Amino acid sequence: MLALSIILSVFQTPEFYVIVSVIAAAVVALVSLPERKGEVKLHLLAGELEASESGYENQGAGHGSITFDVHAGNIVTLRREGLVGISMSGAVSLAVRVSGFDIVIEDRVTPGDLSPLGMAAAAVFTLDFLAPEWYHIRYESEQFSEHAALTLHVREGIRMEKKLIH
């Protein structure tokens, strides 16, 4: 009986409650830690330029748009329209940063010299590294001061179009 009362007296000491409070705070801190996204993967993509039908640029800045088309095998094509001042001898490329299900796309533009082939109206890119999931995408064009944000479900047949905001 004496041993039992000694053991039960431990639960009434201030030290016991301090230790229990510290353990409870540690559990709350562990539970509230943000989810780890893992490493950021960088993909550099070269675009295939498409000539303007008139041979000249037909719209000014602020008329850009992006279109995502999902094909079989989780192949996604991205079409960037509304290029201004890019000749067919120029280039448009993308830096695609994937962190979990968050994607940041930055376009990089080289205007090029005047070309007898005319001006470029659009650039097309192939993204072949996405899984069939929902992705939060942010597209940024520093050259044209345009951007957009959208959610894309990578599933065959999905088409998503978004105007770029100037």
- For the stretch 37-46, pLDDT in tens is 678 999 999 9
Segment 99-105 mean pLDDT: 94
Burial of 92 from C-beta contacts in 10 A (0-12 / 13-18 / 19+): buried
Residue 54: the pLDDT is 56
Residue 32: the pLDDT is 84
Most confident of 5-9, 23-27, 67-71: 67-71
Residue 53 φ/ψ region, left for φ over 0, alpha for ψ in the -120 to 50 degree band, beta for the rest? alpha
Residues 6+ apart with CB under 8 A from 116: none
Residue 165 in this model has a pLDDT that exceeds 70: yes
Q: How far is CA 96 from the centre of its chain?
A: 7
For the chain, count helices (H), then strands (E). Answer: 2, 10
As given in the structure block, the two tokens for residue 151 are 């959610």
Residue 88 in this model has a pLDDT that exceeds 70: yes
H-helix or E-strand spanning residue 156? none
CA distances from 126 to 47, 132, 165 (A): 8, 15, 23
